[in-house]
Amino acid sequence: MSRPEHKAPPEIYYDDTEARKYTANSRNQDIQAEMTLRAIELMALPEHRRPALVLDIGCGSGLSGEILTEEGYEWVGFDISPSMLSVGLERDVEGDMMLADAGHGCMFRPGSFDGAISISVLQWLCNADTSYNSPAQRLMTFFETLYAALTRGARCVFQFYPENDEQIHFIMTMATRAGFGGGLVVDYPNSVKAKKIYLVLWVGGEMLAGPNGEGQGVKQILPAGLEAEGETVRNDTRRVNDKRRGKAAKKAAETTKERIRRKKDIDRARGKAVPHDSKYSGKRRRHRF
């Protein structure tokens, strides 16, 4: 089976039809939830850094962002596919999402994020889908700007599907040149279907910063991969998915007035200017002739 990144650039491959089909697929939802939970575990954010702000690289329609929300994180995501972002907006995900190309860099203020995750995205940056796109340059720009956008000691975790060992070496070389430490974590290495590869990177040396910003925190250690499929991850995935589907059912049962008020509450929490509630909020107006 041909790989999606070989068929077309992501902004073309994930058109309106493909974006909706991918998001609505319950198997995709379960797999995405499991990989996101594992990425959060590998990100290993200490308690003194919570509540934390996490960057979701290639956030798509917000499937991974929903898990971040359920786990108590604030998040900002970006994606190159307008169709994926549109589906995410329709689903009322609670993070902030924007249209951006990772190959052009992460244009955020230095030290903005306490951590970052990325699910099934990194391999797309290795494709030269146009004559002027250089994978090496795009990866270098991406890793250098990501390094700057993370706080000292922060981790970023990439779940990805490498094409071969040469591609893994290429990606890790670019990350190391940008200043990152870290390495690969491989879960279920002896399973053809369950095998998952994560690139775990950290910023600024071998020590996490302590509660007051000092350098005498926890030593950075590359976690071991999972050897045998256990029930813990599956149970966590089931718990999060049940909660997410319950919220979706609750949203579907909302009245127009309840939906408007909920969206206003979300916008207020994001610091946006929101009109005051009134008895006319969500009230159906008569047509004027």
pLDDT tens digit sequence for 137-154: 999 999 999 999 999 999
C-alpha to C-alpha distance for 92 and 264, rounded to whole angstroms: 12
The H or E element spanning position 22 is helix 16-24
Residue 280 maps to a domain = no
Q: What is the pLDDT of residue 6?
A: 87
C-alpha angle 149-154-156 in degrees, rounded to nearest 5: 80
Q: What is the pLDDT of residue 208?
A: 56
Residue 187 maps to a domain = yes
Do the beta carbons of residue 54 and residue 115 sit within 8 Å? yes
Instruction: Provide the 10 A C-beta neighbour count for residue 160.
Output: 22
Q: Is 186 helix (H, G, I), strand (E, B) or coil?
A: strand
Residue 57 maps to a domain = yes
CA dihedral 238→242→243→249, nearest 10 degrees, is 160
Residue 136 maps to a domain = yes
Q: State what percent of residues in the chain have pLDDT above 70.
A: 81
pLDDT at 162 over 70: yes
Do the beta carbons of residue 123 and residue 162 sit within 8 Å? yes
- Residue 220, phi-psi category: left (phi > 0), alpha (psi -120 to 50), beta (remainder): beta
What residue type is 78 in one-letter code?
A: F
What secondary structure does DSSP assign to 57-91, as a single string? ET-TTSHHHHHHHHTT-EEEEEES-HHHHHHHHHT
| Average confidence (pLDDT) over 154-158 | 96
User: Which tokens hold the place of 67?
Assistant: 């898990």
| Average confidence (pLDDT) over 210-227 | 70
The CATH code of the domain that includes 82 is 3.40.50.150
Residue entry with tokens 């329709």: 90
11-47 confidence digits (pLDDT tens): 999 999 999 999 999 999 999 999 999 999 999 988 7
Residue entry with tokens 């005498």: 216
Provide the domain count of the chain: 1
Q: What is the pLDDT of residue 257?
A: 77
C-alpha to C-alpha distance for 285 and 226, rounded to whole angstroms: 58
pLDDT at 281 over 60: yes
| Average confidence (pLDDT) over 257-267 | 76
C-alpha to C-alpha distance for 194 and 192, rounded to whole angstroms: 6
Residue 73 structural domain: 4-229
Mean predicted lDDT score pLDDT of the chain: 85
Instruction: Provide the 10 A C-beta neighbour count for residue 69.
Output: 17
Residues 6+ positions from 208 with CB-CB distance below 8 Å: 46, 153, 217, 218, 219, 220
The H or E element spanning position 184 is strand 181-187
- Which range is most confident: 6-10, 99-103, 190-194? 99-103
Q: What is the pLDDT of residue 260?
A: 77
Q: What is the pLDDT of residue 237?
A: 58
Residue 240 maps to a domain = no
Spatial CA neighbour of 121 closest among 157, 86, 174, 85:
157
